[in-house]
Amino acid sequence: MKTIRLAGITSESVVDGTGIRYVVWAQGCRHRCVGCHSLNTWDFAGGQERNIVEIIADISKNKLLKGVTFSGGDPFEQPEKFVYIAREVKKLGLDIWCYTGYLYEEIKEGSSNSGRQKLLAEVDFLVDGPFLEQEKDPQLAFRGSRNQRIIDMEKTRKNNRIILWE
């Protein structure tokens, strides 16, 4: 559990969720969306192994951060490692945004992978669904195509139905 395979890290971003965010780019993606802007993240053997404790230490140094964003690739392909990071990040008082090509329903009800269920439980805002080039809209906030949803997970869990971020 000491390392995680990543495509990279962006120490400060304002386009991957609200506020200033630290972005952890997962390596490995099965979705292979046409028009994806992160083709380098697809190969599960690509990227590099990074020390998880060092990543968390780096996050803790920046007092301007509102939260951490998991992107990729697909973080739900390495759920246990992202769960660990998420839990440590929450101890710092930061929120978690997570991008995935999976639909919320696929993760919530269709997944036999308990790691995915655990990661979903740690996420505050989930941007779900594959990028669809025919639905691309550069005017959208924090997502690439109109089919993708930004789900407010706290409200969704509380109401037992999907509540979108506003």
What stretches of the chain adopt beta strand conformation (E)?
3-13, 21-26, 48-51, 67-71, 95-99, 125-128, 149-152
Q: Is residue 52 part of a domain?
A: yes
Indicate the pTM of the whole model.
0.95
112 against 141, higher pLDDT = 141
Q: Is residue 92 part of a domain?
A: yes
CATH number, residue 114: 3.20.20.70
User: Mean pLDDT throughout 105-130?
Assistant: 89
pLDDT tens, residue by residue, 46-81: 999 999 999 999 999 999 999 999 999 999 999 999
The whole domain housing 72 covers: 3-159
pLDDT tens, residue by residue, 8-20: 999 999 999 999 9
Q: Is residue 79 part of a domain?
A: yes
Phi then psi for residue 94, to 5 deg, are: -105, 155
Q: How far is CA 7 from CA 24, 25, 46, 97, 161, in A?
A: 8, 5, 7, 17, 33
Q: Is residue 140 part of a domain?
A: yes
Please count the structural domains in the chain.
Answer: 1
Read off the tokens for 75: 């973080």
